[in-house]
Amino acid sequence: MRIAVFGKQFGEVFYKACKSLFQILKDNNVEVVIHQSFYEFLLTNVKMKPDVSDFFTTHEDINDVDLLFSIGGDGTFLEAVTYVRNKGIPIVGINSGRLGFLADISQGEMKVAIKEVIEGNYKTRQIDLITLETGDNHFGEYNFALNELAVSKRDSSAMITIHTYVNNEFLNSFWADGLIVSTTTGSTAYSLSVGGPILHPSSKSFVITPISPHNLNVRPIVVPNDVEVTLKIEGRDSKFLASLDSRSKVLENTVHLKVKKADFSINVIELAGHTFYTTLRNKLMWGVDKRN
């Protein structure tokens, strides 16, 4: 087996577990290709020199791997997606911190989980992404997102108006601090924090969620993910902020945003006991009531 390992910096609480992880891979004769900057972090901070066969720095360097391990939090997982892209390589999310909704293998269960992965005792689940089209392709080759497109104001006081169209049919003009168009995966991220609904991963939908809308009768709306959502921004400021997951650009109000489902999906590993509902309960404490 040949795997790629991508990670970011993490705290000392995960140092011992990280060393154990690489030892497990070595003991099982797993060939490791590691991200160059992550390898340097392990050398300098963790004081370990993992046994690796090669390095990668771009998405072009990992065409011949069976899996990609993302070591970190959900932000690290989102960045790992930019390396996998449309290659179909399954991602294994290992959580080095506290929550980890996408990176759902915790430190306490890591040894057992990695053994299951190496032995092939897992299912692969496909999750949809979105792509963004702008006139000048402002995000370049990174014009896709696993979670959401978020549009927000730059000025600290003035709201913006987001004229929104679904398949070129006018939906509404949202007078708000911003607007989120999220995937089902992103429904438990930024969209959820501003009042959006939780969607099941297989529901094949988008959520359009306003951020702090001026009118209280404005609510999030769920639409099928086979539509194209167009956003036209208006405001006192001539510019606004557009974000695809963690990548942001300042754009002119003259730029129109067209969002649709990407023509490729991401494969993620799903181990026994790691269903969507158990993740909701265990990670988001969904439905927890101390009276019970």
In this predicted model, what pLDDT tens digit does every residue of 77-127 receive, in sequence order? 999 999 999 999 999 999 987 767 888 888 888 999 999 999 999 999 999
Task: Supply 243's token pair.
Answer: 């974000």
Pick the CATH number of 129-263 from 2.60.200.30, 3.40.109.10, 3.40.718.10, 2.40.340.10: 2.60.200.30
Parse the chain into domains and list their residue ranges: 2-122+271-283, 129-263
pLDDT exceeds cutoff 90 at 29: yes
Confidence at 58, pLDDT banded by 50, 70, 90: very high
Q: Is the pTM of this model over 0.75?
A: yes
Active site residues: 74
Relative orientation angle of helices 110-118 and 15-27, to the nearest 10 degrees:
30
Q: What whole-number percentage of the chain has pLDDT above 90? A: 79
pLDDT value of position 282: 79
Question: Tokens representing 256?
Answer: 């129109």
pLDDT in tens, 210-246: 999 998 889 999 999 999 999 999 998 899 999 999 8
pLDDT digits (tens, 9 = 90+) for 2-25: 999 999 999 999 999 999 999 999
Rounded Cα distance between 274 and 90, Å, is 16
Same fold, 2-122+271-283 and 129-263: no
CATH, range 2-122+271-283 = 3.40.50.10330
User: Is pLDDT above 90 for 180?
Assistant: yes
167 band by pLDDT with thresholds 50, 70 and 90: very high
Of residues 205 and 155, the one with the higher pLDDT is 205
Tens digits of residue pLDDT in 143-166: 999 999 999 998 777 899 999 999
**Quick one: average pLDDT of 182-211?**
95
Q: What is the pLDDT of residue 189?
A: 93
223: nearest Cα among 164, 286, 161: 164
- Percent of the chain at pLDDT > 70 equals 99
Q: Looking at residues 276-288, what average pLDDT do you find?
A: 82
List strand residue ranges (DSSP E) for 195-256, in order: 205-211, 221-224, 229-235, 239-244, 247-252
d(CA 70, CA 50): 16
Q: Which of 154, 176, 193 is nearest to 284 (CA)?
A: 193
Q: Of the candidates 146, 4, 9, 144, which has an alpha carbon nearest to the alpha carbon of residue 61?
A: 4
Longest CA–CA span in the chain (Å) reads 61
Does the pLDDT of residue 197 top 90, yes or no?
Answer: yes
